[in-house]
A and B are shown apart, each in its own frame.
Chain A
Amino acid sequence: MAAAEKIIGSRIKRREDPRLITGEAKYLEDIQLPGLLHAAILRSPHAHAKIKSIDTSKAAKHPGVIAVYTGKDFADVNPMPCAWQAGKVKNNVNTPRVLEIDRVTFTGAGVAVVVAEDRYMAQDALELIHVDYEVLPAVVDAEKATKAGAPQLHENAPNNIALEWTCGTQDTTDRALKEADVVVKQRMINQRLIPTPMETRGCIAQYQAATEEWTVWMTSQAPHVMRLLMTAFVFGVPETKMRVISPQIGGGFGAKIFLYPEYCLMAALSRKIGRPVKWMETRSENYIATTHGRDHITEIEVGAKRDGTITALKVNTYANLGGVLSTIAPGIPTTLYGRMLSGTYRIPNIFCHVYGVYTNTGMVDAYRGAGRPEATYVIERAVDLVAHELGLDPVAVRRKNFIPPEAFPYDPVILNGLKYDSGQYAKALDLALKMLGYENFRKEQAEARKQGRYLGVGFSSYVEICGVAPSAWIGLPGEGWGAGLWESANVRVHLTGKVVVTTGSQSHGQGHETSVAQVVAGELGISVDDVIVQHSDTLGTPFGYGTYGSRSTAVGTVAVYNSLQKIKEKAKLLGAHMLEAAPEDVVFEDGKVFVKGSPDQSKTIQEIAGAAALAYSLPPGMEPFLDNTSYYDPPNCTFPFGTHICVVEVDKETGEVKIKRYIAIDDVGKVINPMIVEGQVHGGIVQGVAQALWEGAVYDDNGQLLTGSLMDYAIPKADFFPTFETDRTETPTPVNPLGVKGAGETGTIASTPAVVNAIVDALAPFGVKHIDMPVTPPKVWRILQGNGG
């Protein structure tokens, strides 16, 4: 076996970890510039109000204060763009401004800014600004916001409806529901979550008046996109006038994809003042001003035959989008949600209707999984509801409805032309059941019940969509960005044989510097240590769309792979020239070019790279250097799948749910580094389980965030969990030559319904068929006391 195939798929330690562990990594907060000023933002204490006047005179006189501005000072700066306008949102888009001018629609909207010599002076001066508000009635519930008499947030959005979107066919679904042997209806809440990356957001902007150019450091998952949106859309200048750098990023989970007003505000301030300006978000600011995730109210109707065959699924969802729209907010509860509602099952009739709704709450946008966790929760709960209604085993109902392996590529009809690439759903389920010991578990459960102990098992046989990229699909007007989402790479083999790769995707914890290097090392037959992966700086990396939607490997690394093939082709031509052999007679193997069958006489990639760089003896017409840039636009998305199983025990006295076992079988296609994949799966499971059991953002009726700090918002700790039992099946995707699908989000997508299904199973003796998240002890305790199911 060639060394190439060994390094790809091996469990090497992450190369980025030493600098992270030793504290040498430089985050935004570590950046110091001469003359740096600090900004603090005054945020609205009201969820819905008119700004009548703002008096900044006292604050301006505070020691150390350089300037105080309000929204009126930036009336010439465009509002933030909403780049993903799914549904009919053309006329009712409302987005934030750098500072709001006359109206606020959520608690935390920025209304004034103080720039001072240090951040403490800036914070103190904030207290001296007086804003005269006319407080308006607020609405925080997406369903209530659409009803008659609800407070109206925006003139251009009657009944607060930002978008209305459907997929599937209503008439056939209604007919199938009428003809079904059983129909189960259920209302379910997918509660609002706060992403809570370890590092909050921040930005430093530096403007050079002489060249009219900015350098902006920001906590972004997508620096190239930020540059494009800030320059072309917000400031109306060419994108070449700005360099955007994402330094080391301490996690994002999606919340750092978007163009936030604060980034544009720093750019505007540095241009006005002529000095670099920095803003670093506090945790409490992060909770009110950074995007949240999920927040769906959903009614489902699922129809089935007596044998468990599902014949129809109808879903109606109110998706809360907050007071204004974040960058890609409309795309999450539509394309990435409705189109995945078929799950791993053959469901002939599906209809999904979504209202995206404005409410007086913080903005909601993509959060790890983004739409797919919500879809998976709906379909995986629906399967259990059908099983419960018919008295069937939930495993049997899953098996009955699985899309069989021979049906791939499978068209679930609602995917707008895309097809599931590959899948062996029963294989993953079987492996998970074997690890669980399903039959034994049911015996153990029955025994436990006799003793008054309540065990439950929950299943989630999910499929998700990764590598969100195909331009012809994601670019469709009314559906996606109106732009493609291809990815780029440049590979350069330097004179010494050392390789520099630049990628347009971004790494904020995913380990790209390791996994991409493994692919390079494997393909070129060199050491991982000889590969440097550069990213996150618009200077020196080709344009790329950034990191989200588990796309960096399935799209970005495939671009790297394609460049490597072109480099290898050139190396073969040059190697043949050096060996005085015919190009068609040589092969490239293990980092060497040699005549087929004569590996003893070879030229190494290092020798060839040197010859290419020195360039005094090249074949006629060949350009110097081994250098190639690729732009990869995949023909399809990829569709990872698997089965997660959760075993819980519910404490009858306290209502507490304890996770006893957690089994995860994931099929993410070919794996480049199993350790990185396992890390992603572990983290994802933790976030998904946390939604099921603990997390939830709560606003009061006046639009005040009650869970505004880590004292009130539950984030799990490591000791809340057992050791995860993970394994994989490996079904390569035919979509890309690496066979990789993506692994960044499977954990959050699969785990939430597995936990809730387990709890419902445990509480079956109490007649429970559904319970809304988070399933906290008081909620369970009330059920156990026979009040409130």
Chain B
Amino acid sequence: MQQPGRAAEIKANGIGKSFGSFRALDNLSLDIGRGEFLTLLGPSGSGKTTFLMILAGFVQPSEGKLFSDGVDITNRPAEQRAAGMVFQGYALFPHMSVEQNIAFPLKVRKKSAAEIKQRVGEMIERVGLKGHEKKLPAQLSGGQQQRVALARALVFEPGVLLLDEPFSALDKSLRGQMQAEMKRLHQETGTTFVFVTHDQSEALALSSRVAIFNHGKLLQVGRPDEVYDRPANRFVAEFLGEINMLPVKGVRPADNGATGLCEDRAVNMRCKAEAIKGDAILAIRPEDMSIAPEASVNENGIAATAVASTYLGAATKLDLTTRQGAKVTVSVPNEVAAAALSKGNSVWLTWPAEKGFLLPDGGQ
């Protein structure tokens, strides 16, 4: 795709893919920056894996163009693109030892025996597989196989590393460990990483930018905090984590943002209301809401009744119902939850104006 050792810059222009009558990917345009760690996030069937396969060259797009460092690579076969790729289930060569697996891309490139030996040795050290060189993949644990897959995909210094749900088969503690390791590898190699996952916390934790997919469409791209705090639509808001949705009426622009009526009380939002007027949805993350003893004029707030609580250790999750019947979940300190439940379950819910954001009513 590019000279070895140099991170690639990829540009997708109006990429679409149909499988028969199924539209897997629709008019996708996306710039992937040099050395960036981009996550493609979405539920299964959202098109994220199809896009990764198009990047790798395993799937030919029905329309659109793909550029790598400004060169059109839309019709270039996979073996000439040579993006490093880590597959779901790793796809190691079962008949080759760890060493042979990692040496494979170098042998294909006809490197000298001495160079292969040296680079494979370095890579084995880097991913912590020393002492396992002669083993077959079947003799390794899931985490070790994962490391072999990473080493094999990085050893030839590809301009871009593509990862298809690489951690889906690992247990939770190993996952965390491998995530940290992948972040380190990204920093060390400086290569462009494109990572597919359906796990939103993984996406937020690892990437420099997240691209969220649904039904074959790219819905939003942005830094993890951007997409989490300012989702473009309801799907993104809900997919990235638990969120409370309250109907607001009569939204209009105001000083520093917008204002409207929520449960018959005036509420202020710090977001712009240009696109949204009239009725809308006010979305607030559970950790951004708190419980106050009584109403305050200067603060956003509504009355609610606590109906259930779930002890989570560090905090308590409290389920509440508002006067108008909306369901709300908040995450509050354990003693606050206990106090709320003890005083007749009736509480006052508040949130800072800058934490709530508006989404179009009813729409996605």
Q: Do A and B come from one complex?
A: no
